[in-house]
Amino acid sequence: MPRFQNLTSYLLLAIHALLVFLLVFQDKVILLAWLQPVGRMHPMLLHLPIGLLILAAVLWVFRKEFEGTAFNKLFDFVLSLTALTAALTALMGFFLSREEGYTADLLNWHKYTGIGLSFLTYGLVLLHRQSVERKVIFNAILAISAIVLAVTGHFGASLTHGESYLFPIKEDAPLTITDETPVFEAAVQPILKAKCFQCHNEQKTKGELLMTTVADLLKGGKNGPIWVAGDALNSHIIQRANLPLDDKKHMPPKGKAQLTPQEIGLLTAWVQSGADVKKPIKALAANDPLKKLIEAQISNSQNHNRAGGPVKITNYDFDAASESTLEKLNNPFRVVFPLAHNSPALQADFFVRQAYKPEQLGELSGIKKQLVVLNLSNMPIQDEDLSTIAQFEQLEKLNLNNSDITGKTLSKLQTLTKLKSVSLSGTKVTKASLQSLGKMPNLTEVFIWNTLISENELTELKKQYPQINFELGYVPKESERLKLNPPMLVNEKFVLTEQTPVTFKHPLKGVIVRYTLDGSVPDSASSSVYQKPITLSGYTVVKARAVKDNWYASEVVEYTFFKGTYRPNLVELLNEPNPQYQGEGSNTLINQKKGEASDFKNPAWLGYREKPFEALFTFAQPTPVKSLTLSIGKNIGGFIFPPASVEVWGGPDKMHLTLLQKIQPEQPIKDQSARVEAIQSQLKEGNYTVIKLIARPVAKLPAWHPGKGQPAWVFVDEVFFN
């Protein structure tokens, strides 16, 4: 025991001296990378001092039940272990506190009470080892330690699980949902509250993201806004929800309650529709797929419809599809789910036009006997695709809103004898093409809002087919002003050629799309009007918004496009990238695969830190290259900065190169959202066979950056020659 006592005495003295030092100079402490895992062991170790302190207290209270000197040795051993584990837990907790994501006030209370508990248990050890009887002081400190333990535990639980974890707060009364209720409040916010608030609240703001108020949601976190209105494909909240569960960027984190496919589908549809936090449910067209998803979400959570009555569930006599089949069919842009709990009937929703591929529709043949609702709104469905849809024999509802069909092949749907509802809003269908639908026995409603059909033709259709309700959808009152959805980008790729100009569309008639090409924000009066596809000559940031009389203008959407006229025959990396970010080798620079600012681990990126990016581009013959565009990534919080300098060399061969231009890109002076940018070089007039490009990383991060003094990263994904 003397050896154990000496060892613990030295360790306790050293750890507590270190804790005092760290507290005094905590504002200047920079945590080394290898200490981060040590800090993250804090939640694992903290249960030991709790249990040991309780054991020590129990032993002390019943000490008279023990005989001889053996009790003192046992008690000293338990007390020493208590103090040692409390000190290590406090030290690990200090390391963990250096990571972002916690509210300062709550964190400080937990940190100081935890360190205070460590000093109290250290004091108990010192008092017990003294020969002088100080039982009154010992009893007092032991009692204080128990109280501080409870307080520290409360603050720790509040940090991890929310302020009301130990002492639950009475829940607010359930929201009464009506047609006036905003879509966000009715369906989106409940999802965020259930799956996101735990890590993004006033006490714990992971990624500097607070989600408990609309204002903070719109502000976003350290990586900028969590959604891009009208562009689910490039919205962080959708991207991270669809990452593999084991990916450290997946949200919610592994071990937390996960978003269901239906919830991801609803969030995707809401973001794609414009992410308007004020738009009421009544402003959605009756056949809007988002409205259907909202109704399903509300009925699932309340087991009632919005009027308060029971949800009507049809009994189907066909077998259910297997779980494995549904798992294979679900992906980030196609969600297949049961219409109701334990129902074999399925609904399939498709999202994000740019991600759609025709074979995705054919893949649903595995559930053709269970598919009852098919939502292909805003997808590039062609007339010939109706042959594939006609195989879904149980189909009751079909949504083709804003698709590319013209109605020439609508007769193919006549095999769907159970079809009750067809949505054709925003398509090019005509009165003549709708004649074939009148022969369908169970069809009761057809939505034809914003089509070529005139009011007179609509009247004729209603007289000719009285059993069918031809619905115009929601028509706002003259006094009512709604906000437009952003214009939709038709392009699937952001590397353009002469044959693929930038093309926008909007499903609502009379909408004007205004845009800018100089990086400025388009206004509703003087900015250029989109009238035909835009041909770009090179790297361009296109910003656009939709405007219409008596409507509020849409949010601004932003897209970055690149273009290359000349393609080198050979690319050589003179410096190898960092082993973690090797992309596809030299081919990464000319494969026209653009990297995303939300995922720098994607093989579209090459990452350099220890040495500069240096590449040699060789053309088959002398080429009149006039400009060069280097596409780079920027993520200030991730230490990814623009290069400190860029050098462009050129000549007839690699042995005879001259410096054509040296560029020093503007460096950020504060944290910014992650994005993809470009560095452009205008070359001297001439023909070049070989061009060498060098991009040097920033050697030391600036003083304002959390990693000040450390080297920055340079990330490159493409080089374009024009």
Among 662, 676, 672, 661, residue whose Cα is nearest residue 715: 676
Residue 75 has pLDDT above 80, yes or no: yes
Helix axes 47-61, 135-161, angle to 10 degrees: 150
CATH, range 313-470: 3.80.10.10
Residue 132 has pLDDT above 90, yes or no: no
Q: Please answer whether residues 529 and 512 qualify as being in contact, where contact means their C-beta atoms are separated by less than 8 angstroms.
A: yes
Structure-block tokens of residue 473: 């959808």
Give the DSSP letter of residue 614: E
Residue 507 has pLDDT above 80, yes or no: no
* CA triple 123-124-129, angle to 5 deg: 100
Task: Give the model's pLDDT for residue 164.
Answer: 52
Task: Give the model's pLDDT for residue 369.
Answer: 92
Q: Looking at the domain covering 488-563, what would its CATH class be? A: mainly beta
The span from the CA of 20 to the CA of 663, in Å, is 48
Lowest mean pLDDT among 162-171, 355-364, 691-700: 162-171
Task: Give the model's pLDDT for residue 477.
Answer: 59
Task: Give the model's pLDDT for residue 313.
Answer: 46
For 207, the enclosing helix (H) or strand (E) is none
Coil, strand, or helix at residue 397? Answer: strand
Beta bridge partners of 709: none
Report how far Cα 491 is from the mean position of its chain's Cα atoms.
22
* CA triple 24-636-707, angle to 5 deg: 30
Residue 311 has pLDDT above 70, yes or no: no
Q: Please answer whether residues 683 and 659 qualify as being in contact, where contact means their C-beta atoms are separated by less than 8 angstroms.
A: no
Segment 37-59, tens digit of pLDDT: 777 777 778 888 888 888 888 88
Q: Is the dihedral of CA 390, 392, 395, 398 positive or negative?
A: negative
Beta bridge partners of 188: none
Residue 161 has pLDDT above 80, yes or no: no
The span from the CA of 662 to the CA of 657, in Å, is 14
Q: Residue 520: how many CB atoms within 10 A of its CB?
A: 10
Residue 305 has pLDDT above 50, yes or no: no
Edge to edge, the sheet with strand 540-547 lists: 495-496, 557-563, 540-547, 512-516, 528-529
User: Phi and psi of 238, rounded to 5°?
Assistant: -80, -40
Greatest Cα pair distance, the chain, in angstroms, is 106
The answer to pTM > 0.85 is no
> In the chain, how many H helices and how many E strands?
18, 24
Residues shown for the chain: 722
Structure-block tokens of residue 709: 């003094």
In one-letter notation, the amino acid at residue 572 is E
**Residues 6 or more apart whose Cβ sits within 8 Å of residue 267:** 188, 191, 237, 238, 241, 259
Lowest mean pLDDT among 270-284, 310-324, 542-556, 661-675: 310-324
Task: Give the model's pLDDT for residue 346.
Answer: 92
* Mean pLDDT within 439-450: 89
**Residues 6 or more apart whose Cβ sits within 8 Å of residue 596:** 234, 239, 602, 604, 676
> Which position has the token pair 């025991």?
1
Lowest mean pLDDT among 163-172, 223-232, 340-349: 163-172
Residue 448 has pLDDT above 70, yes or no: yes
User: Phi and psi of 410, rounded to 5°?
Assistant: -60, -25
In one-letter notation, the amino acid at residue 602 is N
Domain ranges of the chain: 2-161, 177-307, 313-470, 488-563, 570-721
Fold of 570-721: Jelly Rolls (2.60.120)
Of 258 and 172, the one with more pLDDT: 258
In one-letter notation, the amino acid at residue 372 is V
> Which position has the token pair 């249990």?
51
The span from the CA of 468 to the CA of 435, in Å, is 12
Decide whether 488-563 matches 570-721 in CATH topology.
Answer: no
* Mean pLDDT within 422-433: 90
Segment 335-381, tens digit of pLDDT: 898 887 678 999 999 987 877 888 999 999 999 999 999 999 889 99
Q: Please answer whether residues 242 and 255 qualify as being in contact, where contact means their C-beta atoms are separated by less than 8 angstroms.
A: no
Helix axes 104-129, 135-161, angle to 10 degrees: 150
Task: Give the model's pLDDT for residue 299.
Answer: 60
* Mean pLDDT within 298-311: 44
Give the DSSP letter of residue 187: I
Q: Please answer whether residues 631 and 676 qualify as being in contact, where contact means their C-beta atoms are separated by less than 8 angstroms.
A: yes
Lowest mean pLDDT among 339-343, 406-410, 595-599: 339-343
**Residues 6 or more apart whose Cβ sits within 8 Å of residue 3:** none
Beta bridge partners of 397: 373, 421
Q: Is the dihedral of CA 21, 24, 27, 28 positive or negative?
A: negative
